[in-house]
Amino acid sequence: IKTMGSTTLDREDLDRGAEPDKAYYIQNQAKVAGKTVDLKQDPPPDLVVEVDITHTDINKLALYANMGVPEFWRYNGRVWRIYQNSGDHYQEVKASPTFPFVPKTKLYEFLAQAQEDEIGAEQTLRQWVNESSPPKP
């Protein structure tokens, strides 16, 4: 997992940028490891997280969908919502497409840990998956 933290995601062709609270590379981590991300050449983050307590005039769902961000999480102060990119828009889903078997609360714990220690968070997630997975026949 490569953690971007709070960063500006900007694409000139969209004439608008966004500053998510957190952005993560998971599936595409190897493509951006050890370098400064340039959205002209690099893929967008695999997951963007926003804590959106106040209303903004920017339609973040449309913006991130147009950027090609596969998964978007939004917290409104009470409820976490997970959205999956369906081409040109997002659809709300009950579970993370990236981590379908991990409860939302557990996922947020891992993402918070990744802010402090990416390697440790990855190891913790792997251990949790191994312990929580059903035994193989």
| Sheet arrangement for strand 22-25 | 2-3, 22-25, 47-51, 71-75, 80-85, 90-93
Backbone φ, ψ for residue 128 (5° rounding)? -60, -45
Q: What is the pLDDT of residues 57-68, one digit of tens each?
A: 567 888 888 888
Whole-angstrom distance, CA of residue 106 vs CA of residue 44: 24
Rounded to two decimals, what is the model's pTM? 0.72
Q: What is the pLDDT of residues 4-51, one digit of tens each?
A: 765 666 656 555 667 777 888 889 999 998 888 887 888 999 998 888
pLDDT at residue number 107 = 77
CA angle, residues 116, 77, 53, in degrees to nearest 5: 95
